[in-house]
Amino acid sequence: MSHRICTGIPRRRLAKLIVELADPWTAQQESRLRERRGRDRIRAAGAGPDHDLTFTDRVIATLVVLRFQLPHAALALFYNVDRATITRAVGEIRPLLAARGFAVPGMPGVRLRTLGQLSRTKS
C-alpha cells in the first residue's frame, strides 16, 4: 500500500511525511487520553492494548482514501480491521495533513489549505 500508485507520494517523501506527522499525532493521542482520564497517565507509555493499525498504516490508509475516495469498508478488508477503525484513523490523520498543508505540483511555494484554493490555482 505504500507504493506511489496507492498514495500518490514517492516512498522517500512518504517516510518524511510520516516522521513529520508522528510527533503531532502522539501529542494529540496523549491529550485525548488525558482528557478522557481526567488526569495524567499512571502506567508507563506503551502499556495497554496495541493499536489495530500502526501509525504508518493510518497515514497510508488516509492517503489512499483521499486519493481514490475508496470506501472505508473496502480498505478495512485489506487491513483486516473493522470499518470503524479506518474511519477513526482517517479522522485522526486528516486534520494533521490539513494543518501541514499540501504542495501544489508545478507551483513551488504554493500550499493548499482548503479545496477552494485548489479551484483558484487551476484557473
Residue range 42-95, pLDDT digits in tens: 766 656 566 689 999 999 999 898 888 889 999 999 999 999 999 999 998 988
Q: Specify the DSSP class assigned to residue 50.
A: P
Q: How far apart are CA 20 and CA 7, in angstroms?
A: 16
pLDDT for position 105: 47
Q: How far apart are CA 1 and CA 60, in angstroms?
A: 7
Dihedral sign (CA 89, 90, 95, 96): positive
Predicted confidence (pLDDT) at residue 6 exceeds the cutoff of 50: yes
Residues 54/25, Cβ–Cβ less than 8 Å: no
Q: Helix, strand or coil for residue 86?
A: helix
Q: How far apart are CA 4 and CA 10, in angstroms?
A: 5
pLDDT for position 36: 75
Predicted confidence (pLDDT) at residue 109 exceeds the cutoff of 90: no
Residue range 54-66, pLDDT digits in tens: 999 999 999 898 8
Predicted confidence (pLDDT) at residue 3 exceeds the cutoff of 70: yes
How large a percentage of the chain has pLDDT more than 90? 28
Nearest to 6 by CA among 74, 84, 78, 61: 61
Q: What band does 1 get if pLDDT is binned at 50, 70 and 90?
A: confident
Predicted confidence (pLDDT) at residue 104 exceeds the cutoff of 50: no
